[in-house]
Amino acid sequence: MKRFHVHVSVANLQKSVPFYATLFGAAPTVEKPDYAKWELSEPSINFAISQKDDRASGLNHFGIQVTEAQELDALHQALGAANISTHDETCARCCYAESDKHWAIDPEGIVWETYHTMNSIAVYGEDRAENLDPQALTSSQAEPVNPPAEVTASCSAQTCS
């Protein structure tokens, strides 16, 4: 199953959560002091908001969340077949989750994330969306984004721990 993903940076999470809870008619699926996420079936969306002092308010990124690793592989292959460069992360720790991800930037400069989440974690982690270099992604020599050494040490090919 694929679910559309939107991540918005907000200036005040405490004011934003009630707004989106009312808009969606549901409490957040995940709610932390700096982050909230709604995984809705109608509309089928994973909508996340986060508050970080060093981040401007507004769109952080769009994405496609998949439930199976094979779906992520298929999306990555489709991007590659279209000559769209990606930055790849294995066992990325972000947004209170461990996920395998492929990042791309569209022709207008909007960041897109395709990802498969394996586990929940207790910390926000590192958000790579705002640190992507469009020049590197549009280059045919784009380099993968590698997770920090401590993440790599805790990851296996199938799961993160």
Task: With respect to residue 106, please indicate whether it lies within any of the assigned structural domains.
Answer: yes
Task: With respect to residue 89, please indicate whether it lies within any of the assigned structural domains.
Answer: yes
Task: With respect to residue 97, please indicate whether it lies within any of the assigned structural domains.
Answer: yes
Task: With respect to residue 159, please indicate whether it lies within any of the assigned structural domains.
Answer: no
Domain count, the chain: 1
Task: With respect to residue 77, please indicate whether it lies within any of the assigned structural domains.
Answer: yes
Task: With respect to residue 108, please indicate whether it lies within any of the assigned structural domains.
Answer: yes
Determine if the pTM surpasses 0.85: no
- CATH classification at residue 150: 3.10.180.10
Residue 54's pLDDT band (boundaries 50, 70, 90)?
A: confident
Question: Model confidence over 102-118: pLDDT tens digits?
Answer: 999 998 889 999 999 99
CA–CA–CA angle 2, 92, 20 (5° rounding): 55
d(CA 79, CA 59): 22
Question: Model confidence over 31-47: pLDDT tens digits?
Answer: 999 999 999 998 899 99
C-alpha dist (Å) from residue 94 to 60, 77, 155: 13, 23, 14
Stated as kind and residue range, the H or E segment containing 16 is: helix 13-24
- Domain containing 134 equals 2-154
DSSP at 139: S
Q: Which token pair is 106?
A: 């569209």
For the chain, what is the total number of helices (H) and then of strands (E)?
4, 8
